[in-house]
Chains A and B, each alone.
Chain A
Amino acid sequence: MIAQISPPELDFLPVAPELVLAGGGMAIMLAEAALPRVTSRVLLIASLLIVAGAAGITVALWGWDGEPTVLAGMVATDRFAVLIRGVLLAVAAIGAVYGHHQFDRAGERRPEFFPLLLFATTGMTLIAAASDLILTFLALEILSLSLYVLAGFSRRVTASEASMKYFLLGAFSSAFFLYGVALAYGATGTTSIGGIARALSGPSEGLPLAMVAAALLAVGFSFKVAAVPFHMWTPDVYQGAPTAVVGFMSAATKVAAFAALIRVFNVAFLPLSWDWTPIVGVLAAVTMVVGSLLAIAQTDVKRMLAYSSIAHAGFILTGVMAANQEGIASATFYLVAYALMIVGAFGVVLLVSGDERTSLSSYAGLAVRSPLLAALLSLFLLSLAGIPPTAGFMAKVSVFRAAVDAGHTWVVIVAVLASVVAAFFYLRVIVLVYMKEPEEELQPDRSPLPALTVAVPAVATLVLGVFPGLVFGLLETASIFRW
């Protein structure tokens, strides 16, 4: 006799965006294998449709009024996850256009780019919603593995070297993270983020163990968000990997990893916030100072942007260390602004440095050859420097205010000094672009599609700089974690 098996009650709707992304990635892979003549343009359109479908479901999830977590507590359905997913999907769409353009221009056939991009996006959107450390780890691995391969997507030796370096250090950081998960389980008897918070808020024997777990998880996240002293891989990988891939990963990885970091530290380890805020503060201060100082010495635009992205990790950590709702809202706003400006800046680099010649001196006189690209680059650099009326300025103001309100004035003083130092090297590039004579070989790419794509984050950077309320309005509800 066959026993009656009753199917379990599972609500897959809150992970529908991920199902669409992963399923779409597999469909594109199969299509590429079954139809060998399919062009990269068709694959690009298919990828964009898949991302748009996932984005549509994500928007619908904003109004979710069911359980706070589904699938046995694995996935959070709060609006924070929805907002971060939206940002990630936008970056993924831009990254798909970049990748298509770069490989098409070089005459390389890289159909695997799209499935890997979609898998990486699956991991990223899922990590933003993960409310169990097991799921966080798996999502982190999916996004990392896809990015290791994407970073090596070039025939140049530096790309393979970048990929290898990223892989080795990433594997190392995964081990730290996994050990942290194990210790958190040892301290609290659960891997659920909400469960850890409940276990730690009462009297607990596992507090020292939980502190070590928090430290190890912080190390794991610090590798992914490129916080000093775990930033060593960033400049080499950003310089070696194809610019299109760097544009995607610099924005999306940081958003995804920070989303998970914010959730883990502001929910699971919130009862220990007195212990971890000073440590995160030191991490933030060191990251801002080292990132800004080392960026000055760079002569390659991709390395400079890499150090700039390191410095920005420090500014975002400044918001995280406030450990309250204002801190979460400001750090999230910073993530949105940062994603827009860094993906735009790398888009301009993709168009200007066609054959990966990315030395800063080749940007001299860009304004003569292409006033539009020069203007876009200046806008993104001004925003990265945090000069009004750009999103970067509003983002810096909001994290500084959150940190001061939470009583961490010393970090804000360091942050302001670091911003001043950072402004120097951004403005130096703008001076180079506008006030020097152009070099002979500078031939910026004039393709319309990528230029149009770069214009999207440019407009968004300006709009958010003037009307920051557009995102802060969403953040009123999106900065509350439900668990």
Chain B
Amino acid sequence: MSSQEIVFVVLGIVGLGAAVRLVTARNVVHAALYLVVSLAMVGGTYLVLAAEFVAFVQVLIYVGAIVVLLLFSLMLTRAPIGREALDNQQRGISALVALGILAGLAFLIQDAFRDARIEPDATPTGAVGVSIFQNFVLPFELVSVLLLAALIGAVVLARKDLP
């Protein structure tokens, strides 16, 4: 095993453990922190694959923004934080769905790649930048218009102080 593979296995085991704890944790704040670990391990996997831009974006957006947003919304709303009422009765079905997806993905990836060995091919961050700001500059900018429209919409629908 190359050092790369060893790192990959370690990342995978830690990520898997965190993911299992994420869904079994009884405290929603703990669950959010396990989510940080799990997402960070995915980011680490991207680093092992030499996709450093994707890895940093993963850390910035998922670990940085989304989990923090989750914690903030827990803090600012009256969602139950403690041990009470963080469970519903759908455990069996969700486990079944999760295992089904795992089996499907495993089969598809096994079927598509078989024994092919794919060497990590480093895409320089510069190439990603050129692609975004040259070929996809208009969609890139439009996404922000889309988000702005969604933001206004959320404010309009949520406010109650209408005359």
Contact = CB atoms under 8 A, between A and B. Distances in A.
Interface string B136-163: 1111001101101110110111000011
B146 A71 contact: no
Interface stretch (A109-117, A307-315, A433-441): A109-117
User: Interface residues of B: mostly helix, strand, loop or mixed?
Assistant: helix
A398 to B, nearest CB: 34
B61 interface: no
B107 to A, nearest CB: 18
A94 B63 CA distance: 46
Contacts of B2: none
B163 to A, nearest CB: 5
B156 A112 contact: yes
A325 interface: no
Chain B CB count within 10 A is highest, among A71, A109, A153, for A71
Contacts of B133: 8
B134 interface: yes
Given A8-B130, A116-B153, A142 B146 contact: yes
A184 interface: no
Given A8-B130, A145-B153, A126 B142 contact: yes
Contacts of B137: 8, 10, 71-72
Q: How large is the interface on A (under 10, 10 to 19, 20 to 34, 35 or more residues)?
A: 20 to 34
Nearest to B155: A112
A76 interface: no
A119 interface: yes
A134 B149 CA distance: 18
A6 to B, nearest CB: 10
A236 interface: no
Contact of A138 (B130, B146, B156, B162): B146
A163 B139 CA distance: 26
A351 to B, nearest CB: 23
A138 B142 contact: yes
B89 interface: no
A155 interface: yes
A148 B148 CA distance: 14
A332 B137 CA distance: 30
A83 to B, nearest CB: 21
A163 B137 CA distance: 31
Contacts of A149: 149, 152-153, 156-157
B3 to A, nearest CB: 31
A119 B149 contact: yes
Given A10-B137, A108-B163, A142-B142, A115 B152 contact: yes
B138 A22 contact: no
Contact of B134 (A8, A22, A116, A135): A8
A86 interface: no
A139 B142 contact: yes
Interface string B36-56: 000000000000000000000
A10 B138 CA distance: 10
Contacts of A148: 153
Nearest to A143: B149
B138 A26 contact: no
A204 B121 CA distance: 29
B135 interface: yes
Nearest to B145: A22
A107 interface: yes
Contacts of A112: 152, 155-156
Nearest to B146: A142
B142 A116 contact: no
A141 B138 contact: no
Top 3 nearest A-B pairs (CB, nearest first) are A149-B153, A72-B135, A8-B134
21 contacts: A8-B130, A8-B133, A22-B145, A72-B136, A72-B137, A107-B163, A109-B162, A112-B156, A119-B149, A122-B145, A126-B142, A134-B136, A138-B142, A142-B146, A145-B146, A145-B149, A146-B153, A149-B153, A149-B156, A152-B156, A152-B157
Given A72-B136, A146-B149, 19 more contacts: A72-B134, A72-B137, A74-B136, A74-B139, A109-B162, A112-B156, A115-B152, A116-B153, A116-B156, A119-B145, A138-B146, A139-B142, A141-B146, A142-B149, A146-B153, A148-B153, A149-B153, A149-B156, A155-B162
Interface of A: 8, 10, 15, 22, 26, 29, 71-72, 74-75, 107-109, 112, 115-116, 119-120, 122, 126, 134-135, 138-139, 141-142, 145-146, 148-149, 152-153, 155, 163
